[in-house]
Every structure is written in structure tokens, then in C-alpha cells.
Structure 1
Amino acid sequence: MSYGVVKGIAESSFVPSKIPNGCTPIHLNLVARHGTRSPTKKRIKELDNLATHLEVLLREAEEQNLSLEKLPGWLKGWKSPWKGKLKGGELIIQGEDELYDIGIRTRARFPNLFNDDYHPDVYAIKATQVPRASASAVAFGLGLFSGKGSLGPGRHRAFAVISESRASDTKLRFHDCCQNYKAFKKSQEPAVDKLKEPVYDEITSALRRRYRLNFTRQDTTSLWFLCKQEASLLNIVDQACALLSPSEVSLLEWTDDLEAFILKGYGKSINYRMGVPLLEDVVQSMEQAIKAEEEFEKIQREQALPHPPKPPQKRNWRGHTVAPFGGNNMLVLYSCPANTSNKHFVQVLHNEHPIPMPERIVAPHLKHDYNSVCDVKLEQQEQKPVAILLITKQLLCLAGTGVHGEMDVIHSVLCGFYVGKT
């Protein structure tokens, strides 16, 4: 889902901690997904196959003289909007705007953090080698430093974007380097599909009755993907999405959330433990900013978490709000007056909205080593990540993968460390 749609959605069931009086921000970390992108090459082929199969279904229905009066006109002769594209997955203009605007708002929100003259060691921008991620980093930087340079009428400035090799990027592409995670994901995908099957079978049967076409489960899968792409990329909600009832949309969203929760979210600990290098990097950057080591108490061990409840029950884990295109997490370090109870305060924001975060939650996870989590065969393991952006006054990072919804994993890295322990 596009960032503009979910940015205004703020969870109202909790009240975040207030920033103590007199505290001023001295350091910022931001982790975000790449902006809105076009469908990947694999998904473009899937939509082409859907168009071909729809032609077959319509021809069969006509040969059987079935009444198709309830069938929407757009389905007859429909072709994928991305038909003929040889490549996909690139950042589109909408995605550029999303990250550019986040950059502008970030500087406007924390102006004092960006008063220093630009230097790559002070404002370090890092991106994975995925093109849409590095393009998002550039768009973000253009917004962040707009008016700060001398290039062109917009007074832009040049800035560095650094990338690690895909094969060794354990901070931003840890899922690619984590063999145990890959094995876990492969082993769990069939079970996840089994959990989703009853919903897809139910909706497929309903579509058959409603439109008198012999839809398959794959058709339903592709139509649901088309609905999401039309809504987020083309602002079209009266075609594929209109084929489904509101209750069917809710159920399909739940299947997406269920899959992301198990394979990418904090449903399994490997999903966030493999992100320990990123967590260490964030923590160390804050420690360097305050030039002091902090000691955190150990907290109770994790307990297994239930799957997201099925509609109509309410649930907190919603993939479209956790990790939309451009979705982001910020950790803002504040320096507080000497007469306050704590010298420093950390504020956490998700999609630019303050959220609560329990204290003393990091140390128990830093005891895990990336190599032991990812390279040693353990009995239970898990997940896969994201296209992300991490910024900080001393660290800006943008990462990306070819996986749809990849930001779920990074959100789990920063949020999953405390879920189940408080």
C-alpha cells in the first residue's frame, strides 16, 4: 500500500511517552522501506497469465451460453496495464515523491539536527544494491538537503550514498545472508499456504457463483494482487477491487497479514534475531552520540505469540500499516537537562507517529550473534526482509530486496525485540 494512504492512520489505543521538558534531539536513526514501485517481472508475468486465463473463461462461458449480465464490462478484453514491460520493480514517480517528502518533513521536524555543514561521516546515507532502494535514498536525500546546496534552481547539493555487497550486507540484507532463515522460510511456506487455502477456496466459490465464470484459486490470488496494485499505483478501486465484497477484502487482508506475521514478522524469533547487526549499529550510533555506555536489565524470555485473529475480530498486526511503501521507523535521541531523572530520552516513531516502547529491551537480544543465529542449524528458525531506509544524524541507510512487503522484517527487528516480553 502507498505511504500516503497509511501515513494518517495512527493507533489510538495507546498514549506515547511525552518528551520531558527541556530535552533536545541530538541524534536520529530512521529505517524505511523504499517508495512505491512498479510490479516485479514475476508479478507482471502473473498478470499477463491472468489476462490469458480470463479470455479462456469468457470464451467457455459464451460457448455454454451462460448469462454474463453480472460480469463487469472491464473484464471483457482486459489486458494488464503492465503488458509488454520487459522489466519491473523500479521506483516510480509516486515513490520518488514519497521519499522526497519524508526527507523534507524530517528536516522540518528536527531542524537543529541538520544545521551542520554536510559531511558524509556526519550524514551517512547507506542503501542496499537494489536499484529501487538506492533511488529511494537519493530521493530522500534530495528532500533532506533541499535548499542546502548550489545545484540548479532548487539549490540541491551532491551527497554520498554507500552500499555494501549483497553477499555480505548483514545490516540491511541480513535475510539474504542468513541460511537458517532461508531454510525456515522454505519449510514454512507450505504450512502458511495451507492456512490460507480455506479463505481462498471460499472466496473463489463465491466469485464463481457471482459471475458465472469458472475461476480458480490462482485467479483469486491474481485478482487480489491486481486489486492492490490498481489501488496503490493507479488509484483505481472500481475494477478488480469491486469484484470482491468488503468482507472478502477483509479476509484476504488477513491472509496477507498472517503470511507476513509468520514469515517476516515477530511471529518467529529468527525473523528479528537475524537483524541483530542492524540493531547493534543503531544502538552503537546512539552510544557514540552520548559518548557513554548504558547498562540495561535483562527481561523475561519470549513466549510464543498467537497468529493475528481472523476477521471480524480486531488485530494489531496489519501489513499495510506496518510496512507500506516508504514505511519507516525513527529513533530520536534527546539530551535532557542535568536536573531531570534521566540524562537522555529516546522517542520512537512509526510512519512519523510517536509510539510507546518499553525500556531496557535491547541487551537481551545483543547477546545473540548473527553467525550463530544464521549459520548453525537450530531446530526452530524464521523470516525474510525488506527494502528500507535508515537515517540518523550519523547514519542514514536505505535497504531493499526483491520481496513484496519486505519492510515487515525491519519493523520486526526494531519492534519484535520487545513483543512478548512486556
Structure 2
Amino acid sequence: MFMCCLSVISSIPDSKFPCSPLTREEIENHLSTKTPYRVRQNLNEEPITFEDCQPRRIWSVIRHGTRNPGKKDIKKIKKVLGKHQGKILNNPDVQMCQKELEKMKSWYFKAQPEQEKFLVPIGEDELIELAERLQKRFPALLTEDYSQKHYLFKYTATQRTLKSAESFCTGLFGRHKLSQVLYPSPVHKDPILRFYKLCTRWKNEVDKNPEATVEVDKFIETSPLIEELLKEVRGVTQIKDLSFDDVSLMYKVCGYETAWNKYGEHSPWCNVFRTTQSLQVFEFIEDLDYYYIDGYGFEITHKQACPAIKDLFEHLEPTSTHPNATFYFTHSGTVLKLLSHLGLYKDDFVLTHNDFDKKRKFETSKIDAFASNIQFVLYECDDGEPKVLTMHQEKVVTIPGCPEDSLCKLSTLKNIFKESLECDFDGICQLNQSEESS
């Protein structure tokens, strides 16, 4: 649709309006779960060593890299933003600078519906480079020689996690050894990698429950920040009837296209936003949504992650017969639920629609970027006490109850997660007969 709009534009009139003051860095830091991993990666590749201790085992959960949107979003972006592109370029009063108008004129959305949620090239790079850095930090543990006895790689039944796993293995072993790597058959409702797909109670009480989005709805319906945002974007585009959904779609495309483009400029749709606050408004909406669906909003949401925790300890046990290096490639929902189960990034208040101005730890732009990852590394020490290092996005983090920025005794971690190790998943997740029949 948008191509027909462009065909009537012979030239773009000179603009005297200034460009958006937002820098690429400002934009990239407020894209919620569409944040490219390059913003969060740790480029310090020095080996992580502790006196009298040697790394022996690693267990890791990794979100897939940067991807395409879903099919519905791809179709909507092409149709709705194609129409708005034509309106912008045909209106001489649009408050965008010449450079922004030129970029808007050349814009077209590359993703096709049949490529929905596919990993994109930059997503492959994210996983390759992550593997290379981890290998440099733990060279004795993550060897360049693949062995099924030493390595376990597992992904869900999706293209984006399969390609993420293959890219990660490319970083470890090189492309010429990829054919040697064996993977278990992928499962869509994997009990470890996507436990929430099997949790009936969570689906009913949270995921499909309108109450879970109440705080998001209240913020959108009552906050004066929404009206400020709409006024800003309507003024820039000179499209007076722009809806909130339209502007939300612009933010979404801003995120995807900026994440896709590592070396070039941000998406032309980012230019409709003139203040950092506008990006932060959408970021806050995303944080509210994920807080209740995947985070601390409901106890069952993070409590159901116990199968992953149980699997973690089975693999970290010094006498375990499991492979020494375990890497699971999964999704945002798994990473956020697991982080919450671990007690990380928990604020001392319940996040509500009134908390836009509050400083918070639960910020999806910071904790759930594309390719976000969690590592647990077991160290065997000369004192005979096995200890564990925990890392999130390649940085050392402290599990509540463990020593700050250091190794934590395996026995201490087991005590902290004693209930998780027992893990009555069916008891947590299954509705009883009276609930099912009601």
C-alpha cells in the first residue's frame, strides 16, 4: 500500500525544521525487550579466575538473538505505517528536517510475513560473539573441540532458537565443525526451556487474565504523559488523527529496525519522537506489562520456574554424569521468569501505573535485551567446597543470600532454593477439578 503513496511524490520540498535531538545511543537504551545486545554486552574478555579454584561446569540459559516481528505485526507495519509514510511525505508542513524526510522517503519494511520471528543476521552475530567471549573467559572449560559428552546444546521448536544455537556453536567451534554438533529433538512446550507453556494455572490466572494488564491500561488511560506523547508525534508528523496504537507501532518499528542496523543510523520512525521521555513512556508500558506477565506481579509467574532451577543443580553437581557445559536457547518469557525466581532486579515496591518517575531495578531494556543470557559456573576449590559464580549478560551478579560479587557455596545456593529443588510443578500449575469445571 505504501508504495502507491510514494509514487505520487516527485520531490521533497525543502524543510526548515530541525532534526530530532535524540541520539542513537539514547534510542538504543530505551527499546525494552527489542534492545540490541550490543548495548548490554560485556567486552571484557579476561579469564575469570579465583585463587585455588578452577571452573569445571557451566549451565546457561540464553535468549535468542535479534529477530523479525510476528506475522500480524509485519502486515500491520506495512499497511498502517505505509499509509502514514505517504501522508508525511505529501505534507509540506511536516516538522521534520530534510535528512529525516529523505530517509522517510526511502523507507520500506524489509521483513516478510513468511519470515515471522526469524533470527536476522545481526542476531546471528550476537550469539557468535557471545560464545567467543565466554570461551576466552573460560578457556579450559569451553574448549574448541566438540564432544557430546562435554557439551549439551538444546533449543525450542522455533527457527530463532535453532539459528541462535547454531550461531553460538559457530563462535565456539567454527563453521567447519557445525556438522559434528548433535542436538536433542526440539519440543515446543519444553518442560525446562519453556515450562510456562505447560502451566495451566499461570495461563488462566495470568497470561489470559485481563486483571494482569490493569496497570498498563490505567497508565495509558489516565496518565497525562500519554497525551503529551500524542501531541508531540502528531505535531511532528502533522497527522492530527494519529491514534495511540499508531504511535505505538512507530515505537515498535523504531526498535526493530534500530536493532537490525549495527553500523548505520537508527530507524527513520525513531525521528517522530523528539524527547527521551517519549521513549521512556513506551519503555515503562513494556516494563509494566512484563512485570505482571513474566516477572514479580504474580507469585505463580516466577514460582513455576522451578523445573529450570532443579535442572540447574542437577547439572552443576560435581559428581553429575551430565555434560560439563550446558547451553539452553530459549525466549524472553523464560529469562524474565528465571531472573525473578532467582530474586534478581526485585524492587522494594510493587510496580504500578503511578511509578513512572520512580527509579526501578526491573527495567526490561537493561535486563532482557535480545540474546540476554544467564550463566552459572561451578568452581572446584582446594578447600573441597564447590562454589558457584552467577552471571547475567556477562556480568557477575549476586543471588540474594550469597556473598557480594564473589563465589557462592553450592551448599548455600541449594539451601536458598531448597523449595525449588523439591519443585512440585504439577501442584503449582494444575487447576483442581472444581476450578476446571467452573
Amino acid paired to 1:175: Y
Alignment RMSD, CA only? 3.4
> Out of 307, 313, 318, which is 2:358 matched to?
313
- Tell me if 1:194 matches 2:238: no
Cα drift, residue 35 of structure 1: 1.1
Match of 2:247 in 1: 220
Aligned mates of 1:230, 1:136 — CA distance in 2: 19
**Deviation for aligned residue 1:212:** 3.0
87 and 133 in structure 1: CA distance in 2 versus 1, 3 angstrom threshold: same
CA displacement at 1:304 relative to structure 2:
8.5
In the superposition, relative to structure 1, how do residues 43 and 236 fare at CA in structure 2: closer, same or farther (>3 Å)? farther
Q: After TM superposition, give the deviation of residue 311 of structure 1 in Å.
A: 4.3
- What is the aligned partner in structure 1 of residue 379 from structure 2? 334
Q: CA offset at residue 239 of structure 1? A: 2.3
Q: 1:139 to 1:318 in 2, by over 3 A?
A: same
Contact 1:2 1:36 in 2 (8 A): yes
Deviation at 1:133, TM superposition (A): 0.2
Change (3 A) 1:166 1:176: same
Whose helix fraction is larger, Structure 1's or Structure 2's?
2
CA deviation after TM superposition for structure 1 residue 86, in Å: 3.4
Q: 1:239 maps to which residue?
A: 268
- Determine if contact 1:51/1:79 at 8 Å carries over to the other structure: no
Query: Match of 1:112, SS?
Result: coil
One-letter amino acid matched to 1:5: V
Amino acid aligned to 2:350: P
Deviates more, 1:360-369 or 1:260-269: 360-369
Other structure's SS at 2:366 match: helix
| Residue from 405, 416, 430 that aligns with 1:361 | 416
Listed as ranges, the matches of 1:277-288 within 5 Å are 277-288=307-318
Q: Which moved more, 1:44-53 or 1:133-142?
A: 44-53
Instruction: State whether residues 134 and 161 of structure 1, in contact with CA within 8 Å, keep that contact through their aligned partners in structure 2.
Output: no
Instruction: Give the whole-Å Cα distance in 1 for the aligned partners of 2:398 and 2:82.
Output: 49
Q: How does 1:93-172 map to 2 (within 5 A)?
A: 93-115=121-143, 118-146=146-174, 152=176, 158-167=180-189, 169-172=190-193
> Does the CA contact (< 8 Å) of 1:145 and 1:157 recur in 2?
no
Tell me, in whole angstroms, the C-alpha distance in 2 between the residues paired with 1:133 and 1:288. Answer: 29
CA drift at 1:92: 1.4
Structure 2 unaligned regions, length at least 5: 1-34, 322-342, 403-414
Distance 1:267 1:9 in 2: 33
* Residue of structure 1 equivalent to 2:53: 23
Summarize deviations over 1:358-396 as a string: whole Å, max 9, x none.
33421133344111222125999xxxxxxxxxxxxxxxx
Higher relative contact order (CA 8 A, sep 6+): 1
Q: Secondary structure at the match of 1:27?
A: strand
CA distance in 1, matches of 2:168, 2:76: 31
The CA distance in 1 between the partners of 2:38 and 2:320, in whole Å, is 34
Deviation at 1:310, TM superposition (A): 3.7
Partner of 1:2: 36
Extract unaligned runs of 5+ from structure 1.
Answer: 11-17, 292-299, 381-422
Separation (CA, whole Å) in 2 of partners of 1:75 and 1:206: 20
Separation in structure 2 between the aligned mates of residue 51 and residue 23 of structure 1, nearest angstrom: 56
Give the counterpart of 2:427 among 360, 372, 396.
372
Percentage of identical aligned residues: 22
Cα pair 2:37 2:369 within 8 Å, conserved:
yes
State whether structure 2 residue 225 is matched by structure 1 residue 180.
no
Task: Using the TM superposition, give the Cα deviation of residue 319 of structure 1 relative to its aligned residue in structure 2, in angstroms.
Answer: 0.8
Aligned residues: 351
Deviates more, 1:350-359 or 1:360-369: 360-369
Q: Is the 8 A contact 2:199 2:430 kept in 1?
A: yes
Distance 1:225 1:379 in 2: 41
Q: Secondary structure in 2 aligned to 1:163?
A: coil
Contact 1:44–1:82 (CA<8 Å) still a contact in 2? no
1:329·1:349 contact (CA, 8 Å) conserved in 2?
yes
TM-aligned CA distance change 1:310 to 1:303, over 3 Å: closer
1:206 aligns with 2:232: yes
What whole-Å deviation, never above 9, does each CA across 1:291-343 have from its counterpart, x for those lacking one?
9xxxxxxxx9x9995117844432211112211111101001111112xxx61
Asked if structure 1 preserves the Cα contact closer than 8 Å seen for 2:88 and 2:237, the reply is no
Contact 1:138 1:161 in 2 (8 A): no
* Equivalent residue, structure 2, for 1:15: none
Helix, strand or coil: the match of 1:270? helix
Match of 1:255 in 2: 285
- Give me the whole-angstrom Cα distance separating, in 1, the residues matched to 2:424 and 2:60: 23
Q: SS at 2:390's partner residue?
A: strand
CA distance in 1, matches of 2:151, 2:144: 9
- TM-score normalised to structure 1 length: 0.73
Within the alignment, does 1:346 sit opposite 2:388 as a pair?
yes
Change (3 A) 1:74 1:225: farther
Q: Which residue of 1 aligns with 2:73?
A: 43
Aligned letter for 2:370? F
Which of 103-112 and 125-134 deviates more? 103-112
Change (3 A) 1:316 1:9: farther
